[in-house]
Chains A and B, each alone.
Chain A
Amino acid sequence: MARVVVNVALKPEILDPQGRAVAGALGRLGLSGVIDVRQGKQFIIDLDGELEGERAELMKKLAAELLSNPVIEDFTLTVEN
Chain B
Amino acid sequence: MIDSVDAAKVNPDTSQPWAELGLKNDEYESIKQILGRRPTSSELAMYSVMWSEHCSYKSSKVHLRQFGDKAPKTDALLVGIGENAGVVDIGAGWAVTFKVESHNHPSYVEPYQGAATGVGGIVRDIISMGARPIAVMDPLRFGPADAPDTRRVLPGVVAGIGGYGNCLGLPNIGGELVFDESYLGNPLVNALCIGSMKHEDIHLASAKGVGNLVVLYGARTGGDGIGGVSVLASETFDTDGPAKRPSVQVGDPFMEKLLIEATLEVLHAGLVEGIQDLGGAGISCATSELASNGEGGMHVYLDRVLLRDASLSPEEILMSESQERMCAVVTPEKIDKFMALCKKWDVEAVVIGEVTDTGRLVIEWHGEIIVDVPPRSVAHDGPVYERPFHRPSWQDALQADAPTPERLARPSTPEGIKQTLMDLISSPNLASKSWVTSQYDRYVMGNTVLAQPEDAGMIRIDEETGLGVAISTDCNSRFAKLDPYAGAQLALVESYRNISVAGAKPLAVTNCLNFGSPEDPEVMWQFAQATTGLADACLELGIPVTGGNVSFYNQTGDTPINPTPVVGVLGVIDDVDRRTPMAWDEDGDLIYILGETFDEFAGSEWAYLQGHLGGLPPKVNFPMERLLSEIMVAASRDGMITAAHDVSDGGVGVAITEMALRANKGARFWIPDNIEPFVFLFSESTARAIAVIARTEELRFTEMCAARGMSATRFGVVDSGLGADSGYPGQQVIVVDSLFTFTIDALREANEATLPALFGG
Residues of A at the B interface (CB closer than 8 Å) are: 10-17, 20-21, 69-72
Judge whether A72 and B113 touch: CB under 8 Å: yes
* Binary contact track B237-266/A, C-beta < 8 Å → 1, others 0: 000001101011111101100000000000
Judge whether B252 and A13 touch: CB under 8 Å: no
Closest 6 CB pairs of A and B: A13-B223, A17-B252, A15-B250, A71-B110, A13-B247, A72-B248
Q: What are 15 of the A-B contact pairs (CB < 8 Å)?
A: A10-B250, A13-B247, A14-B224, A14-B248, A15-B219, A15-B224, A15-B250, A15-B252, A15-B308, A17-B251, A20-B252, A69-B110, A71-B245, A72-B247, A72-B250
> Which of B223, B224, B248, B251 is close to A71, meaning CB atoms less than 8 Å apart?
B248
The answer to the question of B731 belonging to the interface, with a C-beta cut-off of 8 Å to chain A, is no
- The majority secondary structure among interface residues of chain B is loop
Known: A16-B250, A71-B109, A71-B110. 18 other contacts (CB 8 A): A10-B250, A11-B247, A13-B223, A13-B224, A13-B247, A13-B309, A14-B248, A14-B250, A15-B249, A15-B323, A17-B252, A17-B255, A20-B252, A71-B242, A71-B243, A71-B245, A72-B248, A72-B250
* Binary contact track B4-37/A, C-beta < 8 Å → 1, others 0: 0000000000000000000000000000000000
In this complex, what residue of A is CB-closest to B250? A15
In this complex, what residue of A is CB-closest to B308? A15
A25–B223 CA distance with the chains assembled, in angstroms: 24
Judge whether A12 and B110 touch: CB under 8 Å: no
A21–B257 CA distance with the chains assembled, in angstroms: 14
Most B-side CB within 10 Å, residue of A12, A70, A71: A71
* B91 CB to nearest chain A CB (Å): 40
A34–B245 CA distance with the chains assembled, in angstroms: 31
The answer to the question of B743 belonging to the interface, with a C-beta cut-off of 8 Å to chain A, is no
A13–B250 CA distance with the chains assembled, in angstroms: 10
In this complex, what residue of B is CB-closest to A71? B110
Judge whether B110 and A72 touch: CB under 8 Å: yes
A71–B223 CA distance with the chains assembled, in angstroms: 14
What residues on A are CB-neighbors of B249 within 8 Å? 15
Judge whether B222 and A17 touch: CB under 8 Å: no
Most B-side CB within 10 Å, residue of A12, A16, A20, A72: A72
In this complex, what residue of B is CB-closest to A18? B252
The answer to the question of B751 belonging to the interface, with a C-beta cut-off of 8 Å to chain A, is no
What residues on B are CB-neighbors of A21 within 8 Å? 254
Most A-side CB within 10 Å, residue of B109, B243, B250, B323: B250
* A43 CB to nearest chain B CB (Å): 20
What residues on B are CB-neighbors of A12 within 8 Å? 309
A21–B255 CA distance with the chains assembled, in angstroms: 10
The answer to the question of B322 belonging to the interface, with a C-beta cut-off of 8 Å to chain A, is yes
What residues on A are CB-neighbors of B219 within 8 Å? 15
Judge whether B222 and A15 touch: CB under 8 Å: yes
A13–B219 CA distance with the chains assembled, in angstroms: 14
Judge whether A14 and B247 touch: CB under 8 Å: yes
What residues on A are CB-neighbors of B222 within 8 Å? 13-15
A32–B658 CA distance with the chains assembled, in angstroms: 60
A70–B250 CA distance with the chains assembled, in angstroms: 14
* B117 CB to nearest chain A CB (Å): 10
